[in-house]
Structure formats: structure tokens, C-alpha cells
Chain A
Amino acid sequence: MPSSSHNRGPDSTPVAEAAPSSAPHSRSGQERPPARELDWSVYMARAQGGDREAYRRLLQDVTPYLRSIAARHFRNSGDIEDAVQEVLLTVHAVRHTYDPARPFGPWLVAIANRRVVDGLRRQGRSRAREVALETEHETFAAPQANLAETASDGRVLRDAIEQLPPGQRDAVRMLKLREMSLKEAAAASGMSVAALKVATHRGLKNLRKIFGRQGGKT
């Protein structure tokens, strides 16, 4: 058997050739060249015996093929890679169930299909309950819906505070903008705590009125 030329071939085969073109054929494992599947079978038999180099070649070799199976069911490249990794993990966990006397392709494809179906179910469940937040969901036509604070908002607020009577203006600035405590503000302004509270309360009420008027205008 011209094994050297056949064996070398599959190892350097690009993704496109590794990928079978239709599901029914790949299911029976008949589409790939027999030498390739024989390679995989031999690699797996050696991997079961603890040969790490054979195991690495096998896993690297089947990855493009698994990716082509997953790509038939998932669009997102992240989902495809997730499915491939799930299959590799399962192959690792159940590698003792492979019987080298039997073809490797159907064994691998059965495991891959199982994991792909699991992935599709997971996807279906999350789609039924979750909505992806896209960038277009963040902006709506009404200006009030845009929550992001802009520089102009700050300016509008400062202008409004300027319009307040002096006592209320100072109280709001100290307690709300500079976030001083009532004691600190009392010490700084010489006003009593009770007077500060009243002034802040009235100041906020006036600000609400000012913005209410502006909102009505726009």
C-alpha cells in the first residue's frame, strides 16, 4: 500500500478538501478518501495507547472537518468555534469508546452531530428568552430617551441655577453640586442647618419649575 504518499497527503490538506459537501455522505463517512480515515483510525488507536504526538495530529487534523460540520448549522464564528471545542472535549472524554476495528468517520460524526444538536438547543432556549442589545436599540427619536449626559446638559443646569435667588443658589451649589454635608455647608455659609434645608428644598422646586417651562417650550 503506498502509505507514505497517502499519509502525507491528508495532513497537508486544506480545509476545503477536508470538508464534505453534503450531510448524508459525511454521515456514512464514505466521502473522504479512505486513506485519510485510516490515518485518523490509526492515530486514535495510538492515542488510546498514550501516544501524545499521534493524538495531537489527530485533533489538529479533524478540527477543520469539525468546523465544516458546525458551519452548516451556525452562522456566528464564535458559535462554530464553541461547537468545535465541545466536540473535541467530548472526543477526549469518550476516546476509550472507539474501537479501532471500525471506521473512525461515523464515530466522529455521531459525536459531532450530538454536540451540534446540543448547541442548537441551547441557542433556541436563549433566543426564546433573551434579546440581543444592538447599538440601534440605544437611541430613540424622543430626546428625553437619550440618557447619556452631554456637556450641553451641564451648561443648561448651571444656567438654571444662576437664575435662582442667591440663598437658594448657594445652598443648591454647596449641597448638590459640591456634595458638601449639611454641617460643612452651614460652617461655610454661616446659615443654619434648618435654613439650608429649606433653601435647598425651595431651590430644587424652582429648578423643577424652570425645566418644566423649558420642556413645555421644546
Chain B
Amino acid sequence: MITTPDLIESLVAGAKPVRRLRPPAARAALWLLFAAAIVSLLAVSHGLRPDLGARLGQPLFATGLAASLLTGVLAAVAAFIVSLPDRSRLWLLLPAPALALWVSTISYECLTEWVSIRPDGVALGEAADCFATLVLTSVPLWLAMLLMLRHVALLRSAAAAVAASLAVAAIASTALALFHDLDASVMILMWNLGTAALLVGLGSAFWERMLFWVASR
């Protein structure tokens, strides 16, 4: 086994100048800029949903959309803050109020419109399209998060994984609401809460493995 003084000497010998991380808010802004670019590209290629203008006039839809967007923004900020070793883990609670608002708007919509599934059900084509949008937004965002947080592999990776996955899920869900005409309550519930839970679960499960893979590149 190497002795501690020898280890110190070898670390000192390998010490190259490093670039300090930018403040967490700045890094979150960078990631959100990337997210905005992805969503805009999708909007150009896919087109916004036709009834977006009318739906935005409805307070419930507008509140839900704003809440999911805010959840994404705050969760991204929280992820970059808790990834630093000396910050409090309580920062994880930062997106909680927005998350609660988002969940409550979905639930309210479920209560009021739970019978609004169309008689012919939801067409498969629409669902597959939705899934494509979901993958196209969440995968690049998740990879960007992994790259930007690769140092966290050695620190608090579980806390960062939850916040990062929540950020990705919220942004993806916002994109879904912008592009897809899925007002049937079951689908809303499935897509919003289901995908958020799925992304947070998958994110947490694969996070550590992926981080070590990214960090070792």
C-alpha cells in the first residue's frame, strides 16, 4: 500500500491548473438555454399544437404549464447547487412548491375532466408521437446534465440524481403540453406524473453507472 506522504507527492506531481466551476445559477442557466434550444427545434420541426392559443387562455392550463416550467427551472438550479459538496441538501426542496402546484393542477383537471376520454379512445398514432417527443426532449437533456454534473460521481450523487431527473421530467412534460393535444385526463395523468416518476426512477437507477462512465471518459 502506498503511504500517505507518497500519495501526496504523486497528487502534487499530477496537479495541473483546473478551471473553476461557474456559479450553480450560471450553470443552470446554461443547461436551461440548451433545453430551450431543444424545445424550439422541436417546435420548428413538429409545430405547436393547433389549439395552444385558446388553451393558454384557460387559467388552469396556463397555471399548469407555468408550474411545470418553473419546476424544471428550479429543479435544475437545485441539481447544480446540491452537486457541490459544501451546500446544504435542503436546496432539494427548492422546486417543491412549484412541483406541488403542478401536481395539483393535474389532479384538479383529472377531477373535473375525468370522463373526457373521446369515444374512440386515444389513437395509437398520437401516443407514439407523444412518446417520440418525450424521448427527443428528455434524452439530450439528461445527457447534458450527466456531462455537466460528472464531478458529482464522487460526491452526493443520489441527491443530484433526483433533482436532475425532476428537471428533465418537468421540461419534457412542458414540451409535451406545448406540442400535443392530449386533454384526456387519464393520458394527462399518465404522461405527466407517470413519465415524471419513470424518469426520476430511471434517472436514479442508472445515474451512478452513467456518471462513472461519463467521468471516466
Binding site for B on A (CB under 8 A): 47-50, 52, 55-56, 59-60, 63, 78, 81, 84-85, 88-90, 92-100, 102-103, 106-107, 110-111, 114
Contact = CB atoms under 8 A, between A and B. Distances in A.
Interface string B1-32: 11011011101111111111101000000000
Contacts of A100: 20
Nearest to A96: B18
A81 B126 CA distance: 60
Contacts of B86: 102-103, 106-107, 110
A114 B155 contact: yes
Q: What is the interface residue range for chain B against chain A?
A: 20 to 34
B8 A114 contact: no
- Max count, chain A CB within 10 A of own CB: residue among B15, B85, B155: B85
Interface of B: 1-2, 4-5, 7-9, 11-21, 23, 83-86, 151, 154-156
22 contacts: A49-B17, A50-B16, A50-B17, A52-B15, A56-B9, A59-B8, A60-B8, A85-B7, A89-B7, A92-B11, A92-B14, A92-B15, A93-B151, A93-B154, A94-B151, A94-B155, A97-B21, A100-B20, A107-B86, A110-B86, A110-B155, A114-B85
A95 B156 CA distance: 15
B85 A111 contact: yes
A114 B5 CA distance: 22
Nearest to B7: A85
B136 to A, nearest CB: 31
Interface of A is mostly: helix
A56 B4 contact: no
Contacts of B4: 63, 81, 84-85, 88
Contacts of B1: 78, 81
A78 B83 CA distance: 30
Given A48-B17, A48-B18, A49-B17, A97 B8 contact: no
A99 B151 contact: no
A88 B8 contact: yes
Contacts of B15: 47, 50, 52, 55, 92
A99 B80 CA distance: 14
A56 B8 contact: yes
A96 B19 contact: yes
A50 to B, nearest CB: 3
B154 A90 contact: yes
Contacts of A95: 18
Contacts of B9: 56
Please name the 8 residue pairs, one residue from A and one from B, whose CB atoms are nearest each other, closest first.
A50-B17, A96-B18, A107-B86, A110-B85, A106-B86, A56-B12, A59-B8, A92-B11
